[in-house]
């Protein structure tokens, strides 16, 4: 049975002390410098997180052994104001060509050389479509449960 369950998107906003072009550049071209290595889906340790700078470009990580793992792709490339990425990491914490959730990031001037970055992660219902099927995998240490545990550990460290 196909159902349309539409949860609200996750929306986040952060103000950074940098002009819009700089914020966009750091987000897209220096992702390796700020993306936590623990947020990796590769068996090999993450050495780079890469967004190819064009619509249709790949979004992927590269491991220490040179292997690459897809995360998604670039849907909209409008430097320095807007970026839409397809987030295709599923509940098994693996790349899934059939799962396409959207991540929109907007970079807005916020006075005095500052930038407000608005992030929206939407179409979360597409995770739910597969909820029952992935149940078993989530009980593994590599599943989301394990990731949440890692988050908790970092927060308390």
Partner 1 sequence: MTNVATALSALGDPTRRRIFELLAEGPRPVGALAALLPVSRPAVSQHLQVLKSVGLVRDHADGARRVYQIDPAGLGAIRAWLDQFWDRALADFKAEVESTGEHQE
Assigned token pair, 45? 């340790």
Q: Candidates 20, 35, 83, 84: give the one binding partner 1 (CB under 8 A).
A: 35
Q: Is 116 exposed, middle or buried (0-12, 13-18, 19+ CB in 10 A)?
A: middle
Q: Does 39 bind partner 1 (CB under 8 A)?
A: yes
Residue 53 is a binding residue for partner 1 (CB under 8 A): no
Of residues 90-129, those binding partner 1 (CB under 8 A): 91, 117, 119, 121, 124-125, 127-128
Candidate residues 48, 86, 108, 134; the one interacting with partner 1 per rule CB under 8 A: 134
Asked if 116 contacts 15 with a C-beta cutoff of 8 angstroms, the reply is yes
DSSP 79: T
Q: Based on the shown chain and the rule CB under 8 A, indicate whether residue 16 belongs to the binding site for partner 1.
A: yes
Environment class of 44 (CB within 10 Å of its CB; exposed 0-12, middle 13-18, buried 19+)? middle
By CB under 8 A, which span of 17-25, 50-58, 59-67, 78-86 interacts with partner 1? 17-25
Q: Does the footprint of partner 1 cover residue 77 (CB under 8 A)? A: no
């Amino acid at each position: 049975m196909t159902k349309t369950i539409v949860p609200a998107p996750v929306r986040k906003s952060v103000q950074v002390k940098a002009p819009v072009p700089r914020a966009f550049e750091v987000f897209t071209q220096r992702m390796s410098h700020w993306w936590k290595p623990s947020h990796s889906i590769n068996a090999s340790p993450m050495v780079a997180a890469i967004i190819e700078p064009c619509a249709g470009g790949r979004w992927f990580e590269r491991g220490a052994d040179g292997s690459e793992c897809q995360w998604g792709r670039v849907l909209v490339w409008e430097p320095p104001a807007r970026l839409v990425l397809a987030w295709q990491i599923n509940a098994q914490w693996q790349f899934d060509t059939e799962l396409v959730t959207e991540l929109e990031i907007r970079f807005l001037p916020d006075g005095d050389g500052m930038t407000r970055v608005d992030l929206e992660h939407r179409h979360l219902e597409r995770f739910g479509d597969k909820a029952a099927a992935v149940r078993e995998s989530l009980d593994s240490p590599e599943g989301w449960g394990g990731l949440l545990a890692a988050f908790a550990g970092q927060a308390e460290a």
